[in-house]
Chain A
Amino acid sequence: EAGVTQFPSHSVIEKGQTVTLRCDPISGHDNLYWYRRVMGKEIKFLLHFVKESKQDESGMPNNRFLAERTGGTYSTLKVQPAELEDSGVYFCASSLLGGPGTIYFGEGSWLTVV
């Protein structure tokens, strides 16, 4: 069974540009999460989808970040326009709705804004 997959794995963009990160959760997982880890710091929650609905987006830093999950399958996270402080690794994770709570992470999308 395929795990959580993320694309691109690495991205280097200039300040002011736009980047879109994609996440494909484990098949059948209705819960989808986005997290971010800035160098040396904790993994911080960004938002949570249940199917196509945003359940909690309290961790989104500002309106330059837009997450979507049309159709309740894959999700995208767009950063527009990117700023230097957006650099970090963006993790996507998924879990079963009503399951034991185990959350499985993707390998991350490593974003560098220069």
Chain B
Amino acid sequence: GESVGLHLPTLSVQEGDNSIINCAYSNSASDYFIWYKQESGKGPQFIIDIRSNMDKRQGQRVTVLLNKTVKHLSLQIAATQPGDSAVYFCAEKAGGSYIPTFGRGTSLIVHP
């Protein structure tokens, strides 16, 4: 079946480095993508989203890139901080659907 998945379950970086978290999706009907951050003991927190008519969107210290040709999504975090340590989930929604589908998540560990 079609699904959303992640390339790396764990990513370790040094404080100050840039982080890149990747996500592959296979549902060609997906037209809306969201990144969530889940800190330990908390619920998923919205970070940034992107629609399929865009290939890049920037927020504060974060950038999401969408490559529809290869069905790939990435989250870039600039100058990673210890507070960025969390599990990051990508999610996708197909057009007309209210239901986002989540992948397994990537654990980002930031070393001071």
Interface residues of A (CB under 8 A from B): 4, 6, 31, 33, 35, 40-45, 48, 50, 55-56, 91, 95, 100-108
Contacts and interface: CB of A to CB of B under 8 A. Distances in A.
A56 to B, nearest CB: 6
B66 to A, nearest CB: 15
Interface of B: 32, 34, 36, 41-46, 49, 89, 91, 93, 98-105
A70 B77 CA distance: 42
Give the most central of B43, B89, B98: most A CB within 10 Å. B43
Summarize A's interface: helix, strand, loop or mixed. Answer: strand
A56 B99 contact: yes
B49 A101 contact: yes
A91 B93 contact: no
Contacts of A105: 36, 43-46
23 contacts: A40-B104, A42-B105, A43-B44, A43-B105, A44-B102, A45-B101, A48-B98, A48-B99, A56-B99, A95-B98, A100-B49, A101-B32, A101-B34, A101-B93, A101-B100, A102-B46, A102-B49, A104-B46, A105-B36, A105-B43, A105-B44, A105-B45, A108-B43
A91 B32 contact: no
Given A44-B102, A45-B99, A56-B99, 5 more contacts: A6-B43, A40-B104, A48-B99, A91-B43, A107-B43
